[in-house]
Structure 1
Amino acid sequence: MSVPDDDLVSVERALASHPEFSDATLITLKAVEFYRFALDLLCERSAEVDRLANGIRDADGQIPAAVAEDPLVRVTLDEAVSRLEQGFVDEAAWSEVTTMLRLVGDALAAHGPGAAPSGAGLSAGRTVEVAPGRAAWLCGTGQDSTDPLARTFLNTFERDFLRGVPGDLLHPGPEYADQLDAGFAALGALLPELAASVGAHYVGVGVVDVRTEGETFLAGNVGRIPGVVFFSPNRMSRPWRFAETALHEGLHLKLFDIQRSASIFTAPERLADGPKVKVPWLKWSSMVAPNEWALDRALGAFHVYAHLVPFRQALRTRLTPELLDRFGAPEAEDPPSLYRFGGDRARYLGEQILSRGGDELTYFGREFVTWLLETVDRVEEGVRV
């Protein structure tokens, strides 16, 4: 049964505006405040950190949002605060923080106080509009860059994203830039509120050629480069194909930001050794693709599948002649597409997380999973919200 569009509007609005679970304005602000607070904690314990931080504060005495959103800044602060929670920050960690702050200060001096420190050295000013009013910087290859933050970003890309798999960061020429613009625009035209909510969590975008054996790389992001998604040209070549992937990857970024200000799991550090969710659609298991997932991995997949349910319904009910003329028709067969399975897989994963989570889930976590499950049911059953 297709959901009447006024019902789909209500569901989309809920997925984009729930004050705790989905409102991008509040969630991104809380994430920025988390990193500002983290830096303030370190400033209290180090005169050198305090001095360097003061050099990058704005006229109101705040760390600029573009700095607090920077992936290298976030990773450095996350690691330092983690050590602080364990009782001490060693000399190497303090050195990483002070080095990062010096490089950020140099980047702001070179590119302007509103610059994204890592992105400024990588993008040469190129951006892509990921949602109305939201531009993400577009990664260049950085081959000729002497910018220290750019070089650090590229080293992190090699070490933590590629992890030994053959691949390259590609130059985002006009053709790739046009494809990215078209794909994000298609998502925005199909699901305007949800696209804006997800787009708010994008900081950077890259184009990559990753050569994996036995499977086709589509897109990905990694925790050590938060806010940045790397897309394969194969996935960018058709707007609707890209729209699904941009939604998928953006939801991972969104969940990362949600967890910066709200605890879903009582002890995230224990999850690797905790309860597992069997994944029945994965018949084989490997180190890269196990068919039993820890609760946090199951949650990430559940979060995506739950949002692919309204994406599928929107493809059924919202493709006007104007959209078809502008973006073409969705592919009849796109094997990597996941939205065809969204409802069943979302329901299975959500129920498994609730039943197996036990004391691993906080009250907020259980409410979050329950809310998403209810949303899936509303879309699939055509019930007016």
Structure 2
Amino acid sequence: MPSAAPLECRNEFALHNERRTFFDRDRCMQEPALVMLARHPVFAESAGILSRLYETYDFLLDCIAPHEWPTGPGQRRILPQTALEPTVRHGLDQAMRRIRNPPACKAELTALADRRHVDSTLAAEEERVGLRQAVELPGHQVHLLMDPALPAPGHQEFQALFRQHLSAGETADTLAGCTAEQAGTVRAAVELMLATAPDLCTGLLRHGRYIVAVDGPDAFDSASTREIPGAAFVAVRCMRTPERLAEALVHELVHLRLYDLQATRSVFAPAYDTATAPTVAPEWHKDSPVPRWPVDRALAAAHVYVHLRAWFEQRALDSGGPDLWQSAETAAFRATSLLDKVARHAEDCLGPAGRGFLRWLTEVHQSRTGPRPRERAAP
């Protein structure tokens, strides 16, 4: 989901005249929201989310396509580093969406097994030609895509997925290989993330496999999509400073965590369809080409804004500056507004896990901001 431009205070505060109702700096000293957002055993702990995801994929192969995916080391049909590769996960997710039609599901898994590059990774291909760059973390690596145009099957498939699901058009944007300077900025941004919110960002980074640079006249600031799981796309212009890049990475990694959670939890009701779902109208989007959002987009955005509020307030406490406080206030307002709007549709649109997720997110947010009077909220 594309991120917005750097957060600003806008006229929504004048319209609602309740800034101090939903945001109180004094509360910032009282509740460790960044820790609360990192430690929920179901909705936030990355090790559990990713383990459940991998076990689901391996079990899917065991049940539906055991002959096409013979067992390997440890009686596993697929290794974790292969299963969580973005292009492979795309195929596995396509199969999972067809689980109620076993022949169609098996056809997807058979096609995936027939791809000769399935046991390779983008990082391994780049290492073969001496291009590999990665951020090393305890038990995990986040790779930088250095040459998207590499003539390897996995790179070609990755390019095709970007064109299909995120690109604004052939002349609008393109995948750009990270430069040595940008690689340095990525490392500095990750250092800032870990210094600001060590528990939260250590977990969030585990949901990212690749950081991918995008360039072009119409390139988004940053984006991610369920169709390319594990990849955070960031515009070259947002990779100039560690501070701006860290914000973009927090934004997209929060999305990636929710995508991983959705794969194995009943976040949405079984019959939920984003094309026909109820919509809500964010106050700050009323003049945009898309003034109304379906519930799933609103929930994903609320999830991000709760995190960004906590991120910006901690950055403000660490380094000061009115701009950071203003960004925290903007994120607080938007989170409050969207959580309230989604709650009105929770019974019909969310599944059991989704309703629990919304309650938890709201509790974390309100523990810092206080509840917003419902009668003041726009639909």
Query: Normalized against structure 2, the TM-score is what?
Result: 0.82
Once the two structures are superposed, the pairs formed by residues 248-267 of structure 1 within 5 Å of their partners are 248-267=251-270
Other structure's SS at 1:207 match: strand
Q: Which of 69, 88, 106 is 2:103 aligned to?
A: 88
Judge which range, 10-19 or 356-365, deviates more: 356-365
Question: Aligned equivalents of 2:139 and 2:131: distance in 1?
Answer: 16
Q: Which of 329, 349, 355 is 1:366 aligned to?
A: 355
Question: Aligned equivalents of 2:106 and 2:76: distance in 1?
Answer: 27
| Structure 1: runs of 5 or more not aligned | 108-116, 320-328
Q: Which of 190, 194, 205 is 2:200 aligned to?
A: 194
> What CA deviation, in whole Å up to 9, does each residue of 1:303-352 have, x standing for no partner?
00011121122022223xxxxxxxxx879489xx9544111111111111
Say if 1:171 and 1:207, in contact at 8 Å, map to a contact too.
yes
Other structure's SS at 1:189 match: helix
- Calculate the aligned-residue CA RMSD, in Å: 2.7
Query: Residue 2 of structure 1 aligns with which residue?
Result: 25
Q: From the superposition, tell whether residues 270 and 332 of structure 1 become closer, same or farther in structure 2 (CA, over 3 Å).
A: closer
Q: Which of 275, 280, 283 is 1:277 aligned to?
A: 280
1:217 Cα deviation after fit: 2.5
Q: How many residues align structurally?
A: 345
Other structure's SS at 2:135 match: strand
Which structure carries more helix by proportion?
1
Question: Aligned equivalents of 1:293 and 1:130: distance in 2?
Answer: 37
Once the two structures are superposed, the pairs formed by residues 1-385 of structure 1 within 5 Å of their partners are 1-3=24-26, 7-8=30-31, 10-44=32-66, 47=67, 49-51=68-70, 54=71, 57-61=72-76, 63-89=78-104, 93=108, 95-100=110-115, 102-105=116-119, 107=120, 117-122=121-126, 124=130, 126-129=132-135, 132-143=138-149, 145-165=150-170, 166-212=172-218, 217-267=220-270, 269-286=272-289, 290-319=290-319, 332=323, 339-380=328-369
1:210 Cα deviation after fit: 3.1
Query: Residue 326 of structure 1 aligns with which residue?
Result: none
Question: Aligned equivalents of 1:33 and 1:59: distance in 2?
Answer: 13
Q: From the superposition, tell whether residues 194 and 71 of structure 1 become closer, same or farther in structure 2 (CA, over 3 Å).
A: same
Question: Aligned equivalents of 1:268 and 1:76: distance in 2?
Answer: 22
1:154 Cα deviation after fit: 1.9
Question: Aligned equivalents of 2:69 and 2:308: distance in 1?
Answer: 44
Question: Aligned equivalents of 1:239 and 1:347: distance in 2?
Answer: 28
Taking only the aligned residue pairs, the percentage that are identical comes to 26
Q: From the superposition, tell whether residues 292 and 5 of structure 1 become closer, same or farther in structure 2 (CA, over 3 Å).
A: closer
Query: Normalized against structure 1, the TM-score is what?
Result: 0.81
Query: Residue 373 of structure 2 aligns with which residue?
Result: none
1:268 Cα deviation after fit: 5.7
Structure 1 counterpart of 2:64, one-letter code: L
Structure 2 counterpart of 1:150, one-letter code: H
1:132 Cα deviation after fit: 4.9
Q: From the superposition, tell whether residues 340 and 241 of structure 1 become closer, same or farther in structure 2 (CA, over 3 Å).
A: farther
Question: Aligned equivalents of 1:292 and 1:122: distance in 2?
Answer: 41
Question: Aligned equivalents of 1:4 and 1:357: distance in 2?
Answer: 28
Q: From the superposition, tell whether residues 91 and 373 of structure 1 become closer, same or farther in structure 2 (CA, over 3 Å).
A: closer
Say if 1:219 and 1:232, in contact at 8 Å, map to a contact too.
yes
Structure 2 counterpart of 1:233, one-letter code: V
Structure 2 counterpart of 1:103, one-letter code: H
Q: From the superposition, tell whether residues 308 and 68 of structure 1 become closer, same or farther in structure 2 (CA, over 3 Å).
A: same
Query: Residue 322 of structure 1 aligns with which residue?
Result: none
Structure 1 counterpart of 2:95, one-letter code: A
1:122 Cα deviation after fit: 4.3
Say if 2:34 and 2:311, in contact at 8 Å, map to a contact too.
no
